Structure 1
Amino acid sequence: MAAPDFADDDARLVAKGRAGDNAEPLSVSELAGMLKRTVEDRFGFVRLRGELSGVKRAASGHLYCCLKDDSAVIDGVMWRGPASALAFRPEDGLEVVASGKLTTYPGRSKYQVVIDKLELAGEGALLALFEKMRQRLAAEGLFAPERKRRLPYLPTTIGVVTSPTGAVIRDILHRLADRFPSRVVVWPVLVQGQGAAEQVAAAVRGFSALPHGHELRPDLLIVARGGGSIEDLWCFNEEAVVRAIAECAIPTISAVGHETDTTLADHAADHRAPTPTAAAEIAVPVLRELAATLADFAHRKQRCALRPVELGRERLEARVKRLPQPTTLLAPQAQKLDDLSERLRRGLRDSASRSRERLQHDRARLVPSLLTHRLERGRDRLTATARLMASLDPDAVLQRGYVRVTGAEGRTVTDASAARGEAALVLKFRDGTLDVAPLSGVQRKPRPVPSVKRPVASPRQDDLFG
């Protein structure tokens, strides 16, 4: 159909209808709506492969980006629901495959793709994302060697973050039972798929938040999962898990996958184990080996304690061999002792002889008549002393009618004033005693006391024994 000829209408200022033309002019909105319906009907489902660029997430949760290749760019939008369920964090430079539908945005006269599903374009893209995340987190210092802590040698309680139904937990428990039976606390989590990263991060933070002294707080933490593809292990590359492990206050072992598998959790943990079974081997020593080591230490301690004694004995024996024999040392003294013993015997024999001679001489001087004379002299002196004592006895005159007056305490009263001062008097006659009391206040004329001639002491006699 040929285009209408409007050459004659160029000078018109007001649009007018033309003969035979039944097409009314369209509004911009009408044309935009028609384009939108046409594009959406024609491209109701598309899959695009390209590189992400200009990725940004709005406060509403919607994700905006561009998909580009070497020669073209198309805008993309991912609403909040699908964006929150993404298994990875979109970043610039990642090669992805976007599934959705093509639509237009009338407000800017642009077309864009509404993304329902966003996936990495093969393992190469996944590895590129892994490397970008590793570099970014390493730049923050999360993988620094100085952050690594030593594992406890013999943990009392071991915490395990893994699936409770897989073979991993059984392998760990079996190996711990073989090596060193320990107390194990399991925090069950998903280890693959949607929500796995959040559960693993929450479990690590939950163990770390337990207060010291709590019965469930472990001394060592193991984050474990069995082998799988890079996609299966991807939750252990999530930033939430990596940061939770790096910030954990408990020493942590990462045991994710097989020996050839590497995750960002391995870099953040204090120690990486090639397998979950190896993590159990790293966590505790072998009980039998520990007992053997302790026995060896005890033996070495005993040897160390006895070694100075053995060295002292060896030195003593060497010095004893250099010492002279006791018989050699004592020979002069033994000879001197024999000499002194002989001199003592001779001296005793001579002394006994001299004493015997003196005894014979003194025996001759002991004459019987001399002893008899000395005995008689002693007998005479004893007889004279007895007569003197009898004459001086105060009770001797009682036989001649005299009376001896004594006080209450038995002292002889010799004058009247002393008698009046006594409470009671005792009169001693030759045939007995009489108790009397002095009369107070009665004055009697004292009778003259006859004088008593006392015996004159005989002149001093000579000592009978000289």
Structure 2
Amino acid sequence: MDLIDGPEDAIPGNTPEFTVSDLSGAVKRTLEGEFGRVRVRGEVGRVVIARTGHMYFDLKDDRAVIAGVSWKGQVARMKVRPEEGMEVIATGRLTTFAPQSKYQLQVESIEPAGAGALMAMLEARRKALAAEGLFDAGRKRRLPYLPRVVGVVTSPQGAVIRDILHRLSDRFGVHVLVWPVAVQGQGCAPQVAQAIEGFNALAPGGPIPRPDVLIVARGGGSIEDLWGFNEEIVVRAAAASDIPLISAVGHETDTTLIDHASDQRAPTPTAAAEIAVPVQADLVAHVSNLNARLVRGGAQSVALRRQRLRDVGRALPRPENLLAPAMQRFDQWAERVPGSLRAALQSKRQELRGAAAGLRPTALNTQIARGRERLDGQSARADRAALARLDSLGTRLASLERLRQSLGYPATLQRGYAVVRDDAGEVVTSATRAGQANALQVEFRDGTLDVMAGKRPKSGKGTKPKPEQGSLF
């Protein structure tokens, strides 16, 4: 029989021939048979989530790299989703991928390689979100003192929701809205973020009442169980909530990133219910106490003011002492009033009698006759005065008329004078103006004469002007 490991120039006669697929299948069976189920520790490299939901990533150390793949169902069951740079322990089966002639690890579950690695990643995420200001104290809102509607984001099963509802009903009767979510696993983070955003999207006064405060609650668990509340989408939704939010995730020693972004952290879900609403009995007692203090304060204030009024009243004179002089004067005037009234009545009665005596017909006729005589006398005197006034005025008027006639220009014309007027009817009183007129009118005592105007004679020093041919006369 020929040996396969013979000389290179030997031609084996019984060496089997494999197809590519046969050889790839043989390698696959050998590899899967030798490494049926393994746990691999390494650092997560590149992570890719396909549209189908499958996840592809690399596991590496300082000398080698192994490709890893997790199917959609396996990804959904993972408590912690791998991120680049995380050190993890992956559990799965080693297999091959024939189309690319490579082997890969089909990962069923992933867990952090110790709590230290997971906490380191958590701390890095916390610092990154804190640098954005999502955890600043100035962003936190005050919780309402007495909310009417409380929104609870938690799982509808389990003791958490029952504890919250029981404590709310014991403390104060408020309306509770529960948004059911998964509080663990891959669906936890997106569902919690969607619930917070959904409560904030409710319109005030709508058919579904908008909560006045939100409680995000979950029971205790490991860091992997609580990891959904460390996801970035949950932290951003809590920081962006317009409704004040109370985080109650885990026990008092558990701390998640939503605790930093919430407006107030409660150590337990039951404590969150106690923070959200006050105790009704305590409110009633407090109001009763305030009412009692108000009554006592009012009574004490009235008593103090009454005592102060008494103290001030002691320094004032007694009312009867203040009113005594006025009362005495009143009594004196009251005694005088009847006599004064009688005297006034008697005086008015006498005046009435005197006036009534003057109203007799005989007396009235006598007064009328006397008045008529006075009126006649006054009328005669007025007539005489008017006639005398008229005579005086007539005499004065006649005297003025004689003066007018003696001083008027017609009388002057009778004495040989004449009046010269120009063609416009204006009186001409100078030779210069007469020479400038086109025609003149001369009025004499017995008539008027129209003449033509001539030239003005020239005159020199020491000589008298001589009339020239064509003068007025």
- Change beyond 3 A, Cα 1:141–1:175: same
Say yes or no: does 1:158 pair with 2:131.
no
Q: Which residue pairs with 1:75 in the alignment?
A: 66
Say yes or no: does 1:292 pair with 2:285.
yes
* Deviations 1:80-105 (CA, angstroms, capped at 9, x unpaired): 52345533332233221112333566
- Change beyond 3 A, Cα 1:332–1:206: closer
TM-score (norm 1): 0.59
Q: Which residue pairs with 2:219 in the alignment?
A: 226
CA distance in 1, matches of 2:24, 2:226: 46
- Change beyond 3 A, Cα 1:115–1:302: same
CA RMSD of the aligned region, Å? 4.2
The answer on whether the counterparts of 1:94 and 1:128 sit within 8 Å (CA) in structure 2 is: no
CA distance in 1, matches of 2:328, 2:95: 135
CA distance in 1, matches of 2:110, 2:247: 29
The aligned runs of 1:98-137 (5 Å cut-off) are 98-103=90-95, 111-137=103-129
Amino acid at match of 2:239: A
The aligned runs of 1:408-419 (5 Å cut-off) are none
* DSSP-derived class of the 1:324 partner: coil
The aligned runs of 1:215-294 (5 Å cut-off) are 215-217=207-209, 218-294=211-287
The answer on whether the counterparts of 1:259 and 1:274 sit within 8 Å (CA) in structure 2 is: yes
- Change beyond 3 A, Cα 1:132–1:62: farther
Instruction: List alignment gaps of at least 5 residues for structure 2.
Output: 347-473
User: Which is further off, 27-36 or 218-227?
Assistant: 27-36
Amino acid at match of 1:227: G
CA distance in 2, matches of 1:334, 1:207: 82
Instruction: List alignment gaps of at least 5 residues for structure 1.
Output: 7-16, 356-466
* DSSP-derived class of the 1:279 partner: helix
User: Which is further off, 304-313 or 74-83?
Assistant: 304-313
The aligned runs of 1:413-432 (5 Å cut-off) are none
* Deviations 1:161-187 (CA, angstroms, capped at 9, x unpaired): 223332222222222222212222223
| 34, 39, 42: which one aligns with 1:42 | 34
1:282 Cα offset (Å): 0.9
| Larger helix proportion of the pair | 2
Aligned residue pair count: 339
1:119 Cα offset (Å): 2.1
CA distance in 1, matches of 2:228, 2:247: 13
- Change beyond 3 A, Cα 1:64–1:325: same
Q: Which residue pairs with 1:97 in the alignment?
A: 89
The answer on whether the counterparts of 2:145 and 2:278 sit within 8 Å (CA) in structure 1 is: yes
Amino acid at match of 1:73: A
CA distance in 1, matches of 2:85, 2:249: 27
The aligned runs of 1:25-40 (5 Å cut-off) are 38-40=30-32
Q: Which residue pairs with 1:170 in the alignment?
A: 162
TM-score (norm 2): 0.59
The answer on whether the counterparts of 1:142 and 1:243 sit within 8 Å (CA) in structure 2 is: yes
* Deviations 1:51-104 (CA, angstroms, capped at 9, x unpaired): 2234444566554433334x4332222145234553333223322111233356
1:260 Cα offset (Å): 1.2
* DSSP-derived class of the 1:90 partner: coil
1:283 Cα offset (Å): 1.2
The answer on whether the counterparts of 1:204 and 1:245 sit within 8 Å (CA) in structure 2 is: yes
CA distance in 2, matches of 1:335, 1:213: 77
- Change beyond 3 A, Cα 1:56–1:132: farther
Amino acid at match of 2:69: M
Say yes or no: does 1:51 pair with 2:38.
no
1:239 Cα offset (Å): 3.5
Q: Which residue pairs with 2:197 in the alignment?
A: 205
The answer on whether the counterparts of 1:74 and 1:113 sit within 8 Å (CA) in structure 2 is: no
The answer on whether the counterparts of 2:93 and 2:105 sit within 8 Å (CA) in structure 1 is: yes
The answer on whether the counterparts of 1:102 and 1:111 sit within 8 Å (CA) in structure 2 is: yes
- Change beyond 3 A, Cα 1:83–1:315: same
